[in-house]
Every structure is written in structure tokens, then in C-alpha cells.
Homo-oligomer: A and B are copies of this chain.
């Protein structure tokens, strides 16, 4: 039998992500993708059940890579500060090294496909993070707080800076390293506030 052309398959994925980032999810169409990847429209339906399936599969695949990148060198049993700093840098690295793929994931996260792409993956990821937080609490490194407050303090400023960066706004100095320090010192503030 004839084997699937993996180069072609990869090209389709690449062009799809490119087009979505360039023209938005509404500017994306199967016929345009086929033309851009130099493939028949019908071929896309060999790889994917339909348009939605294509988007979900691509999103799931890239989201998996993101989570893997975030958890690189990370272990839930780490000391809190070390774990936080590693994740912080992993996140910054991923976004700065793969801005197009990051923007693709961002678009999916703000679309109706959000649930189908991220729900299962996020559950697993949040369990790991939950274990990490639980350890930190047990070790009295942090006081109990909700995941949401934790997130808003730990990573929101970073992502905001990254978005400025992605939008082509020049960030003088080294705001990322700077922001990491702010993140860490802010936790001290939160600890104090939660005690009061």
C-alpha cells in the first residue's frame, strides 16, 4: 500500500497554524489551507475528520508540548521557590521561542473550542500543580490560598509583559528577569496579607 507523506502532513500543520495566527480563526478555511499547503482539499479529510477535528487535534498537540515545556526540570516535590522560578522561566522561554505557536494556543483558548482542546489536559496539569502547592503548604512555605489567587500573583504580570513583547512593543531593560523578582517578592506580600 501507499504510505502517508509525512512531510506533507507536517506542512499542513505548519501552514494551518500560520494562517490562524495571521488571519484569525475566522480567516481560516479548509480550501485556503489546502491551496497554501499545496494539497487537495480532499487530502485534509484523510488526515482529519472535519475542520473542527483539525483545530482540536492541532490545539491538543501544541498544548501538550506547552505543558511539557512548562514542566521541564520541574518536580512537584521541589522547594517552593525553586519550583516557582523554574516554571516561571519555562513559561517565558516557551513564549519567547515559539511566539507563533503560543499565539495559536491563545486564539484557541479564546474560542468556543476551548473546552474540547484544553479541558482534559488542564485537569492533569492542575493536578500536578495542586500537588506542588500542597507540598509547599505542608512545608509551611506558603499559606493556603485558592488556585486563582495564586495564578494571578504568580504569572499574570509575566503574561502581560509577554503580550506586550509579542505585539512588537519594545521592552527596555530586562523586564522579564525583573518581573521574575517582582513575582517572587510579591509572594512575600501575599503571605503577609493572608496572615492579617
Interface residues of A (CB under 8 A from B): 23-28, 106-107, 110-112, 146, 148-149, 151-153, 155-161, 164, 169, 171-173, 175, 178-179, 181-182, 185-186, 188-190, 192-193
Residues of chain B within 8 A of A160, CB atoms compared: 148, 151-152, 155-156
The secondary-structure label for the interface of chain A is: helix
Do residues B110 and A110 form an inter-chain contact, with CB atoms below 8 A? yes
Measured between alpha carbons, how far is A173 from B153 in the docked complex, in Å? 16
Q: Say how far A144's CB is from chain B's closest CB, in angstroms.
A: 11
Q: Which of B28, B149, B161 contacts A149 (CB 8 A)?
A: B161
Measured between alpha carbons, how far is A28 from B23 in the docked complex, in Å? 15
Do residues B156 and A171 form an inter-chain contact, with CB atoms below 8 A? no
User: Assuming the A-B contacts A23-B112, A26-B24, A112-B23, are A157 and B148 also in contact, with contact meaning beta carbons closer than 8 angstroms in the complex?
Assistant: no
